[in-house]
Amino acid sequence: MFKELTPPAWLPELNRWVQRLGPRYALLLFCALVLLMALALSQLLVSLLGYGDRTVAAICAGMAALGVGSLLGAMFLSLHAQLEQSLQQLKRCSDMDALTGVVNRRAFLNLIEREWALARRYETTCALVLLDVDHFKSVNDSFGHRCGDMLLRQIAEASSETLRQGDVLSRFGGGEFMLFLPHTDPLGALDVAERIRERVEGLDFCWNGQCIPVSVSLGVAALQADHGELDQFVNAAELALQAAKESGRNCVRAGDAASSNRPSRPGRPAELKR
């Protein structure tokens, strides 16, 4: 059994103070405190002993305190900096999908909850694209999980390459990825989804010398006024993905808002049918 490691209760409080003051001021304050304590102790000692020069005692105590204080303070600050760095690394890792290096589902849902609330409040556009690898199970079954893993990594890489700054790609489940597109209208989201579909279709994916055709199905949902809950927004993307799968896969389908904004052209229905 692993024993849970709990830091002493004063450590987070101390850390908060160091962050509030800034490392340099925290070090100065620490040295000043040590100096004051040393001076007080030296004077107390002279009083208790009943002999000795108070000035000499104060000078000696002061020099010793400054030396020890700055050494301890510098050690503490360097430990503090390392701790901060490790915490940041840990946070990055805990938000990441270990296999593909993209954001994991938990971190993604936290992030879009914030973005979704902001988009609703300021009435800006945003969209979700849910991507599912077609017949992923049979890739795993026929070529093994290592092959499936490599396919997931390549799809994550290919999808990432089409994104702008601010777009967030996450691994949403086994063979599913979800994309959040801030400040993106329905047409823009459809275009992104279609670009990803084309890119994945064009991948030269080979395993042990055998080339395997790969494709993805994508569902697009643009934020609508009636998405009063985040779940409704996510569900809309899931429904659109379901429609893409039911249409034969390797295609993009959109929820209502996205499809109704796509200008209809003869021979090209709203949902980028293929």
Ligand X SMILES: Nc1nc2c(ncn2[C@@H]2O[C@H](COP(=O)(O)OP(=O)(O)OP(=O)(O)O)[C@@H](O)[C@H]2O)c(=O)[nH]1
Beta bridge partners of 192: none
Q: Please, what is the minimum distance in Å from the beta carbon of residue 215 to ligand X?
A: 10
- Taking the C-alpha atoms of residue 270 and residue 243, their distance in angstroms, rounded to an integer, is 13
- Taking the C-alpha atoms of residue 171 and residue 100, their distance in angstroms, rounded to an integer, is 8
Which lies closer to ligand X via its Cβ, residue 53 or residue 149? 149
Q: For residue 219, which phi and psi values (nearest 5 degrees)?
A: -115, 135
In the list 149, 226, 229, 246, the residue contacting ligand X (rule: CB under 6 A) is 149
Q: Which stretch binds ligand X (CB under 6 A): 72-80, 108-116, 146-154, 251-259?
A: 146-154
Residues 86-145 that bind ligand X (CB under 6 A): 99, 132-138, 140, 145
Q: For residue 252, which of 225, 200, 216 has the smallest C-alpha distance?
A: 216
Polymer length of the chain = 274
x/- site string to ligand X, residues 195 to 234, per CB under 6 A? ----------------------------------------
Residues in binding contact with ligand X, number by CB under 6 A? 15
Q: Please, what is the minimum distance in Å from the beta carbon of residue 153 to ligand X?
A: 10
Is the separation of the CB atoms in 102 and 177 below 8 Å? yes
Q: Please, what is the minimum distance in Å from the beta carbon of residue 92 to ligand X?
A: 20
In the list 69, 148, 182, 255, the residue contacting ligand X (rule: CB under 6 A) is 148
Which pairs count as long-range contacts for 227-230, CB under 8 Å and 24+ apart, including other chains? 227/116, 227/120, 230/109, 230/112, 230/113, 230/116
Q: Please, what is the minimum distance in Å from the beta carbon of residue 200 to ligand X?
A: 13
Which lies closer to ligand X via its Cβ, residue 120 or residue 153? 153
In the list 69, 73, 175, 219, the residue contacting ligand X (rule: CB under 6 A) is 175
Q: For residue 215, which of 191, 199, 192 has the smallest C-alpha distance?
A: 199
Which lies closer to ligand X via its Cβ, residue 237 or residue 257? 237
Which lies closer to ligand X via its Cβ, residue 54 or residue 137? 137
Q: Please, what is the minimum distance in Å from the beta carbon of residue 93 to ligand X?
A: 17
Q: Please, what is the minimum distance in Å from the beta carbon of residue 175 to ligand X?
A: 4
Please report, for the chain, how many H helices and E strands are present, in that order.
9, 7
Q: Please, what is the minimum distance in Å from the beta carbon of residue 219 to ligand X?
A: 12
- Taking the C-alpha atoms of residue 172 and residue 193, their distance in angstroms, rounded to an integer, is 16
Q: In what order do the strands lie in the sheet with 126-133?
A: 168-171, 176-182, 126-133, 216-222, 252-254
Residues that bind ligand X (CB under 6 A): 99, 132-138, 140, 145, 148-149, 152, 174-175
